Structure 1
């Protein structure tokens, strides 16, 4: 015989294990997070009786709970058990919040987050002090990635008396994912006080510290975690970024080398290394890392490597840029977007012009302009190439392209400056002055102001004034 007391306990405890098991999937890509003992234990433990916060059961409601228990104990028929609860709620929508809570647990076990949240919220609405409904609903919302909503529920749960490590830790997670890093730090510290052995809270604390640029504190936390998890490449990479934040590039590079030697390099970590070496003008070494990153995963987005090639071209490391472009085209041929292809064409044209192959790349530039008559960069490159010829015909063509380039808003300033310098090279100072004056109106720059003053002086002298 099942006693009334047992039934009442069961009303808030049915499927506690199911509730814990339902946390095992779909939190981003880290299912292991939800399978950890401290999460499951905390979720299950939340079903104990708290008389001050639990809804009471009328005698008729106890009978329904008994039916549900019987279905579970005799044949484990959870679908029928859920149907019994839903029928009771259908017959009386204002029935005890315990029914909504039980239904929510069933849905949580089935992985139906939408309905689990619906019934947890319903239980909390019927019985505002229903702590477990509020807290478990918050946990489900975290699983669904609804951090703002979960944040409100966790805050309410804390007001109702929840102060366990999982509540505080997941509160910290919500703060991190809503950009409230100082609050996240506070929550994670509280979670760690309650259970100092949970690595997730330590990692969360490190992240919240690094996002606040508290690099030294963040590094101290990461180093503590790495003592127990020395082959965690993500933590090593985070530490490297933190040292970079402290402008300690030497240590950052050394740490990424550790990741590399562990055999756990990722495209991101290799790109990190390449960027560091490129910033030091160790261009061949940088190229090696970029090439390894490209080869690491043929399915990755090529955008980042197009940006690398653009940076190399801007820095004048043309040989390396050409090699990166070649690797991009051979490795990502089917993944290159139209924008990628156009960017590569522009880079090839820039490199050709810079390395004396101007005549060969003119058709490429003309193709770019044919595709997009407002391609400011292509227009400016053609203008500068023709101006560089130093011939009457070249200057005439250059002026046409310069004028068109100044009509492209994002290229207007650069086109005006380059056009003015072209006129100065021809000793047509009077033509250069209004162009530089225009620059100072739309984008004032001290060095352009000084250049303008010099051109004016030369112009006045040339006129004998």
Structure 2
């Protein structure tokens, strides 16, 4: 038989971030944002043609190249006009690439894609054309195509920090964490202090359960940005996975002081305190969590309340119930409201307010005759009051509740 609220309640320690175990929200890019002007300048580099790995200019190409060259750093529209007038279907792929790059710089992405694809069709190993086409797809948020062309860049010997960084972010968005980790580690060979690359690598370490390494890298990120609560929380994930709960609690408290208060974070902090037998502190934090709770959080909150009741921490449970009533009760569904009423009645019984508690439980049973928690509480109350017939009556009714028979 299931023993309801007096059974052992396992307050499962969950990770701080919703979703899969140890996952984290995708972060916004800062120093490696492919849409930034600085990134474009650094990534595209010179418009000159690298004859060693790209289509060679033939003598007949020189006139076009010399005509457009003076405008590349001063008047991109004029450079585009010249190329549009002069470039023909059979022209050198280098000019398609150049025109596609200029269109990209002017954010004319459709035209850029057409020219870059023509360049690659004419010269499949055109590395810089693959690089720039990857950027076009990055602007369109087409992650699979970004990855496809960046892999071409790497295969053609163009594995620089920016390419590996973009590749890592693409893999991260597709939740291919091991691939993303390898790409970010390669990117950091070129730019070891990049904030984005550190952040990406740390997130991948967390998602691949390499918790010791994740803790160490989050130390660096916290040093770089000590007022960012997210880093304290994510490092807390790793510390919790290593069962370093006191350090986890310290991280949660730091995040809390920096404005990182959510129901999930505070609920976890409360669980840690309660399991470490700091009951008063845990109940206080749990009560604070209620103002951040959403309707879907009610069951978790009631499990915390149930835990305190099971331990007979009546005053702490009463304080938590008051906070629950203020912040969450208006959001409850009918069955949750009855369950909460039964838990409040358990507190009343524990504090000696028997008449109030019994009245609430009987009212719950009027609405829901198979409310197992209420039946169990009444059975236990009458047993402790030596009213065995009444106790047996309620215990027998509990046996008719499917979920309480196991």
TM-score, length-scaled by structure 1? 0.60
Matched, 1:265 2:263: no
Q: Aligned residue for 2:333?
A: 341
Q: Aligned residue for 1:49?
A: 49
Q: Secondary structure at the match of 2:189?
A: helix
Q: By how many angstroms is 1:32 displaced?
A: 6.1
Matched, 1:185 2:184: no
Aligned partners of 2:344, 2:217: CA distance in 1, in Å? 50
Q: Secondary structure at the match of 2:193?
A: coil
Aligned partners of 1:46, 1:190: CA distance in 2, in Å? 24
Aligned partners of 1:115, 1:386: CA distance in 2, in Å? 76
- 2:342–2:373: 8 Å Cα contact kept in structure 1? yes
Q: How many residues align?
A: 357
Larger deviation, residues 125-134 vs 103-112 = 103-112
Aligned partners of 2:47, 2:245: CA distance in 1, in Å? 50
Q: Aligned residue for 1:322?
A: 321
Shift in CA distance, 56/379, structure 1 to aligned 2, threshold 3 Å: farther
Aligned partners of 1:381, 1:118: CA distance in 2, in Å? 68
1:114-151 per-position Cα deviation (integer Å, ceiling 9, x unaligned): 77666645643453212122223334444555444333
Q: Aligned residue for 1:155?
A: 151
Q: Secondary structure at the match of 1:213?
A: coil
Q: Aligned residue for 1:302?
A: 294
Q: By how many angstroms is 1:302 displaced?
A: 0.8
- 2:96–2:115: 8 Å Cα contact kept in structure 1? yes
Aligned partners of 2:307, 2:194: CA distance in 1, in Å? 46
Aligned partners of 1:161, 1:131: CA distance in 2, in Å? 8
Give ranges in structure 1 of 5+ residues lacking alignment: 1-26, 370-377, 407-413, 418-465
- 1:116–1:140: 8 Å Cα contact kept in structure 2? yes
1:308-344 per-position Cα deviation (integer Å, ceiling 9, x unaligned): 31321341444254234224348xx6xx5xxx53464
1:212-238 per-position Cα deviation (integer Å, ceiling 9, x unaligned): 222222222222344443333332322
1:186-208 per-position Cα deviation (integer Å, ceiling 9, x unaligned): 32222222222212222222222
- 1:165–1:190: 8 Å Cα contact kept in structure 2? yes
Shift in CA distance, 208/109, structure 1 to aligned 2, threshold 3 Å: same
- 1:202–1:221: 8 Å Cα contact kept in structure 2? yes
1:261-313 per-position Cα deviation (integer Å, ceiling 9, x unaligned): 4x343426544433422433434423443454555x7xxx7156424313213
- 1:379–1:402: 8 Å Cα contact kept in structure 2? no
Q: Aligned residue for 1:203?
A: 199
- 2:376–2:395: 8 Å Cα contact kept in structure 1? no
Q: By how many angstroms is 1:247 displaced?
A: 1.0
Matched, 1:138 2:130: no
Q: Aligned residue for 1:164?
A: 160
Shift in CA distance, 305/141, structure 1 to aligned 2, threshold 3 Å: same
Q: 2:405 aligns with which of 416, 421, 426?
A: 416
Aligned partners of 1:291, 1:314: CA distance in 2, in Å? 14
Q: By how many angstroms is 1:169 displaced?
A: 2.0
Shift in CA distance, 391/147, structure 1 to aligned 2, threshold 3 Å: farther
After superposition, the CA RMSD in angstroms is 4.6
Shift in CA distance, 150/265, structure 1 to aligned 2, threshold 3 Å: same
Q: 2:219 aligns with which of 220, 223, 231?
A: 223
Q: Secondary structure at the match of 1:153?
A: helix
Q: By how many angstroms is 1:209 displaced?
A: 2.0
Q: 1:282 aligns with which of 278, 281, 299?
A: 278
Q: By how many angstroms is 1:252 displaced?
A: 1.9
Shift in CA distance, 291/106, structure 1 to aligned 2, threshold 3 Å: farther
